[in-house]
C-alpha cells in the first residue's frame, strides 16, 4: 500500500485514515507504529489529532527487513548440531523489526551459524525466545525445526529455567515472593506494557540476593514469558529496575540501559535428553555498580 491524502486540521489521524482506507483504527495505529505513515514527509509518532491547516498524509510501503549476515560481535557460549547458546550484549536487538531492520542478533547469527530453524520465518530464524534490547544475557537458539519445537515446548511447559539478576531501586521488604499480575499493552503508550486485568497472566518469582539500603540485588525466575515481564512487575511493586527509563527513571550511575541480566539458563537437550545448565557472568558495567554500592556500604 502506498497512498497520499490531503487532510484538514482538527480531525484525528486514525479516524481520517480509517475512513479513507477502510482499515480499522487499530490497523492504522499499527501502520503508525511501524513507521509507514508520514505527515508532510515526516514520520508520524502517534495517531492523534491533526493540529491545523491542510497537510499531506502518506502511507508508505514498509521498510524491507533484512536477515542477511553481519559481522557483529556476540558471545557464543555453546554450540552443537542442534542448538546455540548466546550471551547477548546490552544494546543489541534480538531480531529485525520495523524500527531496526538490521544490526541485530539474528544478523550476527546468520553470519556465524550455518543452519538455523525456519519455524519463525526469514526475519527470526532460530529464535525461540527473546531478550529486550537493553537486557543482556543468555538465549538459546535452535539450529533445526525439531530442536525449535522441543525448546518451545519446554518454555511453554515451564521445564526450561530462565534466571535473571537485576538491581532494583529501593529496599524490598520481603526476602522472596511471587508477583502474579496480568500484563497487557499499555493504553497510554503502545510501545510499552502495563498491568492490565484483561491482559495475559504473568508470574515472576523473586529472591533477594543482596541489600544496599537504597537498592536491592534480586534474582528473578520466570514462570511465564510476557513482553517486558520483569520490568513491568518490578515497577508494579514500586521497585523498578535501575537504569530502566521506560518503566522507572534516569539513574545516577550513567548507564546506557537497565541493570537486568539473564545469567542462568537451564534446559533439556532436544536430541540427547541431557539436562544442561549455562551461566553467564554479570557484564562489567553491572559489576562496577555493585562494587560501588558495596564500597559505599562498607562491604
Looking at the annotation, which residues are catalytic?
132
CB count within 10 Å of CB 247 equals 19
Cβ atoms of 140 and 83 within 8 Å: the answer is yes
Residue found by looking up cell 519455524 in the block: 119
Does residue 131 contact residue 95 with C-beta atoms inside 8 Å?
no
Q: What's 200's DSSP letter?
A: B
Distances (CA, A) of 59 to 29, 42, 95, 96: 12, 11, 24, 21
Name every residue whose Cβ is closer than 8 Å to that of residue 158 and which is 6 or more positions away in sequence. Answer: 223
User: Is the distance from CB of 64 to CB of 70 less than 8 angstroms?
Assistant: no
Contacts of 293 (CB under 8 A, 6+ apart): 212, 215
Amino acid at each position: 500500500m502506498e497512498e497520499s491524502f490531503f487532510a484538514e486540521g482538527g480531525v484525528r489521524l486514525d479516524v481520517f485514515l480509517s475512513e479513507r482506507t477502510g482499515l480499522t483504527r487499530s490497523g492504522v495505529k499499527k501502520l503508525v507504529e511501524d513507521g509507514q505513515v508520514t505527515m508532510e514527509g515526516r514520520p508520524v509518532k502517534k495517531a492523534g489529532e491533526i493540529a491545523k491547516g491542510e497537510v499531506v498524509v502518506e502511507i508508505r510501503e514498509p521498510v524491507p527487513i533484512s536477515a542477511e549476515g553481519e559481522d557483529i560481535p556476540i558471545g557464543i557460549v555453546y554450540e552443537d548440531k542442534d542448538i546455540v547458546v548466546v550471551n547477548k550484549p546490552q544494546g543489541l536487538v534480538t531480531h529485525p523489526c520495523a524500527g531496526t531492520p538490521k544490526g541485530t542478533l539474528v544478523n550476527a547469527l546468520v553470519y556465524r551459524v550455518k543452519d538455523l530453524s525456519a519455524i519463525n520465518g526469514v526475519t527470526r530464524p532460530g529464535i525461540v525466545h527473546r531478550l529486550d534490547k537493553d537486557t543482556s544475557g543468555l538465549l538459546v537458539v535452535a539450529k533445526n525445526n525439531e530442536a525449535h519445537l522441543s525448546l518451545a515446548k519446554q518454555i511453554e511447559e515451564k521445564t526450561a529455567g530462565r534466571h535473571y539478576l537485576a538491581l532494583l531501586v529501593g529496599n524490598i521488604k520481603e526476602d522472596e515472593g511471587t508477583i502474579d499480575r496480568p500484563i497487557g499493552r499499555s493504553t497510554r503508550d503502545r510501545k510499552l506494557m502495563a498491568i492490565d486485568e484483561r491482559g495475559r497472566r504473568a508470574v515472576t518469582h523473586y529472591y533477594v540476593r543482596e541489600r544496599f539500603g537504597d537498592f536491592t540485588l534480586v534474582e528473578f525466575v520466570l514462570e511465564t514469558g510476557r513482553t517486558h515481564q520483569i520490568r513491568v512487575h518490578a515497577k508494579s511493586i514500586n521497585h523498578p529496575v535501575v537504569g530502566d527509563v521506560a518503566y522507572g527513571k534516569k539513574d545516577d550511575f550513567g548507564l546506557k540501559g537497565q541493570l537486568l541480566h539473564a545469567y542462568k539458563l537451564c534446559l533439556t537437550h532436544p536430541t540427547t535428553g541431557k539436562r544442561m545448565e549455562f551461566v553467564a557472568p554479570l557484564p562489567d558495567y553491572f559489576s562496577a555498580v555493585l562494587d560501588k554500592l558495596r564500597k559505599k556500604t562498607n562491604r
